[in-house]
């Protein structure tokens, strides 16, 4: 094995002066220090607001044209991408292949650390080939320290195929430059435990992914007001949520809302359109389809 490249200059690898006596703190002092340092995650999101907005615009545009969104990473960064991807189908009733997480080492790396695989750029490129990335797709490369070869190999391959690329890192561009359609830098400073990027870097990455996926789904018409009207009614909790959405947005009592939900085939958005338009399920669904699933547009066209 060749000697590793020096990484001590990276912001995510540096020692935090505020935690030099970490091993001497009381439990309460530990909690307070974590709380103080975690405030930087909110500030980092605010600093990256323009880039996050641009990324949402690109993602929603590509998905609206039939493309897909891929998160790719290794270790904590990759696991966070998988986590965000798997939450999209139940929240927004999206097909499983619309938003996908690609993790170095595959599914087994979710449960068992396979950190050595992050050093193989060719594996990242192969993952892009395996998923047949096209110019309609968006690939979000996630690497806290910015240097992960697996991620860079994937982004290079995606760009070679004409795909849109978004780069997320927690180090300044001057430390790790990267060509991408959007370059999102989430600067939270050195970790309390030096180099442990599952801490602030992991937290701010999860926050950013929440914003990207939710923002894109809002832009795609999968939300009405602040309600998840495309929620997949797959268990009792989600059925209750669906009924409360119908009750809150209409004048229906719970029993009538339940009947409407059944008539719509357990589809909240369709149920709302049926109620407000007076249309039966089939013509209401056609109206929705004609307007790309956007409830507001469908309603405007019907009245």
Annotated active-site positions, please? 87, 118
List phi, psi (to 5°) of 289. -60, -40
Q: Is there a contact between 83 and 114 (Cβ–Cβ < 8 Å)?
A: no
User: How far apart, in whole angstroms, are the C-alpha atoms of residue 101 and residue 76?
Assistant: 12
β-pairing, 182-185 with 164-169? parallel
- Report CA torsion sign: 21, 24, 30, 32: negative
Instruction: Determine whether 2 is exposed, middle or buried from the number of CB atoms within 10 Å of its CB (0-12, 13-18, 19+).
Output: exposed
Dist CA 39 CA 2 (whole Å): 39
Beta-sheet strand order (sheet of 182-185) = 99-103, 69-73, 138-142, 164-169, 182-185
Crossing angle, helix 75-92 and helix 200-219, to 10 degrees?
30
Q: Which is nearest to 202 in space by CA: 13, 41, 84?
A: 41
Return the beta strands (E) in 20-93 as ranges: 69-73
| Contact indicator for 201, 191 with CB cutoff of 8 Å | yes
Residue pair 154/72 in contact (Cβ under 8 Å)? The answer is yes
Distance CA(179)–CA(172), nearest Å, equals 13
């Amino acid at each position: 094995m060749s000697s590793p490249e020096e990484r001590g200059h990276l912001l995510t690898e540096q020692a935090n002066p505020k935690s030099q006596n970490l091993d001497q703190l009381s439990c309460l002092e530990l909690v307070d220090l974590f709380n103080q340092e975690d405030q930087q995650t909110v500030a980092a999101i605010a600093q990256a607001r323009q880039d996050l907005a641009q990324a949402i615009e690109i993602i929603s545009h590509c998905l609206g044209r039939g493309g897909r969104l891929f998160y790719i990473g290794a270790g904590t960064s990759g696991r966070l991408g998988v986590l965000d991807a798997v939450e999209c189908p139940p929240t927004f009733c999206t097909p499983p292949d619309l938003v996908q997480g690609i993790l170095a080492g595959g599914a087994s790396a979710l449960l068992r650390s396979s950190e050595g695989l992050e050093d193989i750029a060719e594996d990242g490129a192969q993952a892009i080939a395996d998923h047949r990335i096209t110019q309609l797709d968006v690939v979000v490369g996630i690497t806290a320290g910015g240097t992960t070869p697996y991620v860079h190999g994937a982004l290079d391959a995606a760009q070679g195929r004409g795909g849109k690329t978004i780069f997320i890192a927690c180090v300044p561009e001057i430390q790790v430059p990267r060509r991408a359609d959007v370059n999102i830098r989430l600067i939270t400073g050195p970790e309390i435990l030096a180099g442990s990027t599952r801490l602030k870097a992991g937290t701010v990455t999860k926050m950013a992914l929440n914003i990207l996926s939710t923002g894109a789904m809002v832009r795609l018409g999968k939300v009405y007001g602040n309600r998840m009207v495309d929620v997949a009614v797959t268990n009792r909790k989600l059925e209750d949520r669906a009924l409360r959405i119908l009750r809150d947005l209409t004048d229906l009592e719970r029993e009538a809302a339940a009947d409407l939900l059944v008539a719509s085939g357990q589809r909240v958005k369709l149920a709302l359109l049926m109620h407000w338009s007076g249309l039966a399920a089939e013509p209401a669904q056609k109206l929705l389809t004609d307007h790309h699933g956007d409830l507001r547009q469908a309603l405007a066209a019907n009245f």
